[in-house]
Structure 1
Amino acid sequence: MKSSRSPQAPASHGTQSIERALRILRELAARGEFGWRLSDLAARCEVDKGTVHRVLSCLVRERFVQQRSTDKHYFPGPMLYELGLSLPGYAAFQQACERRMAKLAAQTEAIAWLILRSGNEYVCAVRQGSLELRGLMVHAGTRRPLFTSVGGVAILQTLPSLETENILADNVQQEIAQRGSGRLGALEKMRDRSRRHGFGVNLGDVVTGVHAFAVPVCADNGRAMAAVCLTGLAEQFGEPKLAEVRAALAEVAAAVEQDARELLGGVMHMGHMGASAEP
């Protein structure tokens, strides 16, 4: 089943190769440290191996992609970093968020992370804290469907109902295509719990014994562009602590919103980091 992304016009013949290359780059960036084998990347992108190989060969020549000699895995190349240097505000925002998440992680003895909305998905921008948690396979650069994360759920709570429905339909397709339907009940339970409490709340709904919480980071129009998340053990964050946790997260989220206003400017008006702009 094909994995959907942000709503786009149908690809014309002239842009199809560009869209394939961009899809490949997104998938490579999502596993920057581990890389992809050619066959696995082709299966993930649902493009035949020959086509993916031709695209990768071009991207390697242009330094957007590298191939590791030891295992032949492909991973992001230095040109992506060089292009990013043209966005100094984003680098400054990243550094500010790293400091804020590190402080939150130290205060709570948990894992603090910041995710950014990217279309129908989220991208982990920052992860801080040394607590080891079973089942928390999210690191900087990880890209997943929004509804699979307590932070993504917090983001969805700020969006119009029709947009949320469309995102959820896409996310369910992605989940089934990649992992089957086994987690759908747990993910729905997390959404229901979060709806009742008014912010992202996961009390062991997805991984037993692991609790997670999130509040949105909103733009000036009230739409979330990111979320501040906290994850720890059940014994650290039981239900009686929900109000305390929400207040701590809201304080950090407000500070991140201010950082974004000062460092990113127009993003605060658009209401997205990597999301599709509203028409």
Structure 2
Amino acid sequence: MTDASSLTPLDPDAAAPAGTQTLMRGLAVVQAVADGARDLKELCARIGVARSTTHRLASCLVQERYLRVLPGVGYVLGPKLIELGFQAREAFPLATLARPYLDGLAELTGDTIHLAVRDNDEVLYLEKIPGKKGLEMRSRVGHRMPLAATGVGKALLLDADEPQWKALHRVGGPVSSRAPGGQQGWEAFRERMRGYAAQGYAFDLEDNEPSIRCVAAPVRDASSGIVAAISVSSTVPYMSLERMDEMVPAVRDAAMRISAELGWIIPAAASARPGRPAAS
């Protein structure tokens, strides 16, 4: 049970310690609470500072609303951090945050790079970096395409349920039958989506535009929800099925790096994966 006396903030008029070391310790307290520390004893153990100093730091953070104290729970992150998080997100639009990683992926692959978000039943393209191989695609910034027919659209739908997949397939599914097996009906689409959802990426196998293939991956924010997707696209001569498989790690890596910029915590298993290519 949490020691209530250890959570009571000091006198608001009490002066906080000064200096860079104090700043770093205060940030360490916030991080410790974010990692699950709930009482003073646990905070002291996490940051390695004396109880009195830790108490004073935590009290100042509560006073300034960076932390709060919940009865029966202990220290939790405070409303000031929520406010700052939204301000930080608004200050750096998604396309701005993503651009360095998109540029890195473009340099790595030489292919066309897209960044897109969901807009109702469609994909809305926010960014496009043309490839270096002289081919043109009809996509452009501000352009919309059906979710179910595009690689980025499928990546945006990886967390959706099957009824939603079916509804979107019905209104704007793949317009061709160029995927392996030549079938683009609902059952074939569902099986492909099940595989993509399990693997965390999606392909466009000429579903939307003749001779165009792409590898796509979702971008997540701090809530772990999918908020965008990126893709690498090229024509069939440059994008064999073997090359598509080889490019998956790089595309997923770039998507995870953008996700980290949005506050998503990369799972340990993903970050520890050997041989993950850098996208920047």
Q: Taking structure 1 as the reference length, what is the TM-score of the superposition?
A: 0.51
What's the secondary structure of 1:252's corresponding residue?
helix
> What is the distance in 2 between the residues matched to 1:203 and 1:251?
21
Residue 242 (structure 1) shift: 3.1
* Contact 1:120/1:146 (<8 A) preserved: yes
Cα gap change, 1:164 to 1:96, in 2 (>3 Å) = same
**What is aligned with 2:217?**
215
* Contact 1:97/1:126 (<8 A) preserved: no
> What is the distance in 2 between the residues matched to 1:208 and 1:224?
28
- Whichever residue aligns with residue 150 of structure 1, its letter is G
- Whichever residue aligns with residue 248 of structure 1, its letter is A
Render the CA deviation track for 1:185-204: whole Å, top value 9, x for unaligned. Answer: 45837945565454321233
* Contact 2:151/2:214 (<8 A) preserved: yes
> What is the distance in 1 between the residues matched to 2:202 and 2:128?
17
Render the CA deviation track for 1:233-263: whole Å, top value 9, x for unaligned. Answer: 323321122332110011011011112228x
**What is aligned with 2:226?**
224
Q: How does 1:23-172 map to 2 (within 5 A)?
A: 89=90, 91-131=92-132, 132-134=134-136, 136-171=137-172
* Contact 2:113/2:131 (<8 A) preserved: no
* Contact 2:95/2:126 (<8 A) preserved: yes
* Contact 1:186/1:206 (<8 A) preserved: no
**What is aligned with 2:64?**
none
- Whichever residue aligns with residue 105 of structure 1, its letter is A
- Whichever residue aligns with residue 158 of structure 1, its letter is D
> What is the distance in 1 between the residues matched to 2:236 and 2:172?
27
What's the secondary structure of 1:225's corresponding residue?
strand
Residue 156 (structure 1) shift: 1.6
Using the aligned pairs only, state the percent identity.
16
Residue 158 (structure 1) shift: 1.8
Render the CA deviation track for 1:27-62: whole Å, top value 9, x for unaligned. Answer: xxxxxxxxxxxxxxxxxxxxxxxxxxxxxxxxxxxx
What's the secondary structure of 2:255's corresponding residue?
helix
- Whichever residue aligns with residue 249 of structure 1, its letter is V
Cα gap change, 1:88 to 1:240, in 2 (>3 Å) = closer
> What is the distance in 2 between the residues matched to 1:249 and 1:129?
16
Which structure has more relative contact order (CA 8 Å, sep 6+)? It is 1
**What is aligned with 1:261?**
263
Residue 166 (structure 1) shift: 3.1
Cα gap change, 1:140 to 1:258, in 2 (>3 Å) = same
State the aligned residue count.
167
Cα gap change, 1:219 to 1:161, in 2 (>3 Å) = farther
Q: For structure 1, which segment, 111-120 or 87-96, has the greater mean C-alpha deviation from structure 2 after superposition?
A: 87-96
**What is aligned with 2:9?**
none
* Contact 2:117/2:123 (<8 A) preserved: yes
Cα gap change, 1:217 to 1:243, in 2 (>3 Å) = same
> What is the distance in 2 between the residues matched to 1:210 and 1:169?
22
Q: Does 1:200 align with 2:231?
A: no
Render the CA deviation track for 1:99-134: whole Å, top value 9, x for unaligned. Answer: 221221121010011111122221101111343434
- Whichever residue aligns with residue 248 of structure 2, its letter is R
* Contact 2:218/2:255 (<8 A) preserved: yes
- The unaligned stretches of length 5 or more in structure 2 are 1-86, 265-280
- The unaligned stretches of length 5 or more in structure 1 are 1-85, 176-182, 263-279
> What is the distance in 2 between the residues matched to 1:166 and 1:220?
28
RMSD over aligned Cα, in angstroms?
3.1
- Whichever residue aligns with residue 260 of structure 2, its letter is Q
